[in-house]
A and B are shown apart, each in its own frame.
Chain A
């Protein structure tokens, strides 16, 4: 076995124990250690990605001395490595972009725990991406839940953040509970926890037609549990509070990565555990499709009415998650490709927007209301530029990342050729318009000179980490927008390996 093949497992362990190490270090050292761990994980993930692309096939990695159905196992393919690389890179950039806010918002003696949470969150995301075993998935969903709630909670001097955390915790635990019940029933029917073994048993059960009702309930429980945790439309109510009130890095990490981890797990369950043809048979994709469409429209409508920049961005996340569910809801490989690309696009765009929101708050007296943000684009030029790039990408202008995923979604829904096509195309058009309806006024506000000069009009000195994070994210955005072909091909080959 090549050394590279050990890297996914090593990166999970490294970030798990990285969290423990951060808990005994002092603030600054914990930060450096956390960034070091994330960097190593990024290198590991990229080299594994290279290896898997070269060999062209996925491999299973045995965790311990016992082969799969008895021991644990992780599975490494192109799609998994790609997600892991994107997740670790974005995690690092989100941390960098909001670094000075972390040190302001957290209590001085407890800053190291923030990095503990970030490390453990990274490990859980990696494990959700790589896992080949449903129960391992559940264990790391637990870590993910607690860590992401803690990331909102660290800003507890603001009472709003505490209330938001409580709501988030309750909704998130409800989602975990439904997911766990689903696993239990599935285990009772199949006697397995390993994904491909369950898939075999489920195929047999569907063929014989026994247990049709429990299987439908299982699909429902999995979809509902993970939809609650990834803020799919009717279950999104916790999201704007949690993302709007957290510290900048937390908002970026939560909306860019945490939601995506759960969606990726859902995709894995659909394709590798239950099997897409049975999901089709039970019409679960149609439900997700409808949820996605409602999210796209209603999320944007809610965003239009917000007077608070971060809450607006949070509602925009609801809409963008709707695009992902639309892609999954189509149920075709093309739809899945578009959904995966949308996951990546949103993961590199939304954190950038949240980081710029943090920068605008710095130059506007800590306020995130639009009336105070007038002219903030002049006071923080780089932030203004990044916001424009991000907003245009979210609207779906050519040459920006968001355009690519929308084009893929459109072609995927045209290929589908049924009633869904018309609905999907109409919704895509309407939601693009709606996106423009709130991003363009936001941009205009940021670049309007205010009537009274309250905060001074000179650009202030920016933090170095903030500049690095924004520049890299802008470059990513253009890179994905212009050279999307290799990325799409990688995703396609990853999906081909997925089965």
Chain B
């Protein structure tokens, strides 16, 4: 058997040395030569410490530079994986569900049957949906309109800026007046302003129509209110805050939503109370199809419409640098 002369320096030995943490010079022949010729023991120690320090620094630097990146990569990968698993499970579930639109589906039971067959008679509303949300299941809708209100209130907490008497943001308000975006108002865009002048009354009128006919045709407080809110936003974009402030300020928002929601709650309290105690409510249902019919649904639609319009416009103004 032939033993290599430089058996000290074969790969395996080098690996062993490296694992043991010996200095490079021990197992690299050139380094060994250098050591023998040039360096004494203390220099080797110094070299070894430097090597270690370099290694640690390199690892730390790598983590510093790439660690976050790698973490985010893994994070994204697993997030996508979880989302895909979720999608698969939900799609699989849908494939098990009863087929859409079949007459013998479980959803076609006595509940929807009564809504469709007796809805007109019991609520007086030609629009069955209005009868359902504002009479049969009015409690849910009461909660839902308060969801709108609470969303608007949260945005007001976060974004409303309090202007002092000098027209600037108050110092103690905790918010910084970032670039006053009303500097360039009014924008005097002739096309926009002319079109708005023509369209604004029509849109508002249409919104009011949708609200007032909520119990007669498709529509109601939610959709009509959204239309009026859109009209207000258009007007604001065309003529600027100076014009809208003449008729819509924070005070207006506050009191309109207060009156609308409180009267909604009061009307419904009366109706719930009488209903639960089996008293006659004494509210005439009127003749189905007439504008003054279907009991409380018309006033409730008006209330909901006011709340929705105010909320939409408030969201818009608040997200444009917080103020009306």
Question: Chain A: interface residue count, which band?
Answer: 35 or more
Q: Contacting B135 at CB < 8 Å: which of A5, A10, A64, A107?
A: A64
Bound: A107/B92 CA distance, A: 50
Residue numbers in B under 8 Å from A107 (CB-CB): 162, 172-174
Q: Is B139 an interface residue (CB 8 A)?
A: yes
Q: Is the CB of B265 within 8 A of A17?
A: yes
| B273 adjacent to A6 (CB under 8 Å) | yes
Closest CB-CB distance, A187 to chain B, in whole Å?
Answer: 7
**Which A residues are in CB contact (< 8 Å) with B140?**
72, 133, 135-136, 139
Q: Name the one of B97, B146, B255, B271 contacting A214, with C-beta atoms under 8 angstroms.
A: B97
Contacts of B275 in A (CB 8 A): 62-66, 71
Report A-chain residues with C-beta under 8 Å of the C-beta of B93.
185, 213-214, 217
Whether the Cβ atoms of A110 and B135 lie closer than 8 Å is no
Interchain CA distance A211-B95 in the complex, whole Å: 11
A191 near B111 with CB under 8 A, answer: yes
Q: In the bound complex, do residue B137 and residue A20 qualify as a contact, i.e. CB atoms below 8 Å apart?
A: no
A190 within 8 A of B: yes
A64–B154 CB distance below 8 A: no
A16 within 8 A of B: yes
How many whole Å from B143's CB to the nearest CB in chain A?
A: 4
Interface residues of B (CB under 8 A from A): 89-90, 92-93, 96-98, 105-112, 114-115, 122, 135-140, 142-144, 146-147, 149-151, 153-154, 156-158, 160, 162, 172-174, 254-255, 257-258, 261-262, 265-266, 268-269, 271-278, 281
Quick check: is A453 within 8 A (CB to CB) of the other chain? Answer: no
Contacts of A190 in B (CB 8 A): 106
Judge whether A385 is part of the interface by a CB distance below 8 angstroms. Answer: no
- Excluding A17-B266, A107-B173, A113-B153, 5 further A-B contacts by CB distance (< 8 Å) are A6-B276, A135-B137, A157-B174, A189-B106, A192-B111
Are A113 and B97 closer than 8 Å at their CB atoms? no
The segment from A148-156, A262-270, A426-434 found at the interface with B is: A148-156
In residues 129-162 of chain A, which contact B (Cβ within 8 Å)?
133, 135-136, 139-140, 142-143, 146-147, 149-150, 153-154, 156-157
Contacts of A72 in B (CB 8 A): 137-140
For window 168-227 of chain A, which residues contact chain B by CB distance below 8 Å?
181, 185, 187-192, 201, 211, 213-214, 217
Minimum C-beta distance from B190 to chain A (A): 38
Chain A interface SS verdict (over half): helix
- The distance from the CB of B168 to the nearest CB of chain A, in whole angstroms, is 15
Interface centre among A17, A24, A109, A120 (most CB of B within 10 A): A17
Closest 10 CB pairs of A and B: A191-B106, A139-B143, A72-B139, A65-B275, A17-B265, A191-B107, A64-B275, A150-B154, A191-B109, A63-B139
User: What are 14 A-B contacts defined by CB distance under 8 Å?
Assistant: A16-B143, A23-B258, A64-B139, A69-B111, A70-B115, A136-B139, A149-B154, A157-B174, A191-B106, A191-B107, A191-B109, A192-B111, A211-B96, A211-B97
A contact residues vs B (CB 8 Å cutoff): 1, 5-6, 9-10, 13, 16-17, 19-21, 23-24, 61-66, 69-72, 107-110, 113, 116-117, 120, 123, 127, 133, 135-136, 139-140, 142-143, 146-147, 149-150, 153-154, 156-157, 181, 185, 187-192, 201, 211, 213-214, 217
Which chain B residues lie closer than 8 Å to A64 at the CB level? 135-136, 138-139, 271-272, 275-276
CA distance A190 to B110 in the complex (A): 12
- A201 pairs with B154, CB closer than 8 A: no
Report how far A139 CA is from B138 CA in the complex, Å: 12
**Nearest Cβ in chain B — how far from A88, in angstroms?**
18
Residue of chain A at shortest CB distance from B261: A20
Known contacts A20-B265, A66-B122, A110 near B156 by CB under 8 Å: yes
Minimum C-beta distance from B322 to chain A (A):
12
Bound CA span A78–B118, Å: 36
Taking CB atoms, residues of chain A closer than 8 Å to B273 are 6, 9
CB atoms of A113 and B156 under 8 A apart: yes
Rounded to whole Å, the gap between the CB of A18 and the closest CB of chain B is: 10
- B209 CB → nearest A CB, Å: 27
Say whether, besides A64-B136, A153-B157, A190-B106, A213 and B276 are in contact (CB < 8 Å): no
Contact B162 A109 (CB under 8 A): yes
Contact B89 A217 (CB under 8 A): yes
Q: Give the residue of A17, A62, A70, A185 whose beta carbon is less than 8 angstroms from that of B111.
A: A70
Report yes or no: A214 in contact with B96, Cβ–Cβ below 8 A. yes
Q: Are B97 and A189 in contact (CB under 8 A)?
A: yes
Q: Residues of A contacting B266 with CB < 8 Å?
A: 17
Contacts of A143 in B (CB 8 A): 143, 146-147, 150
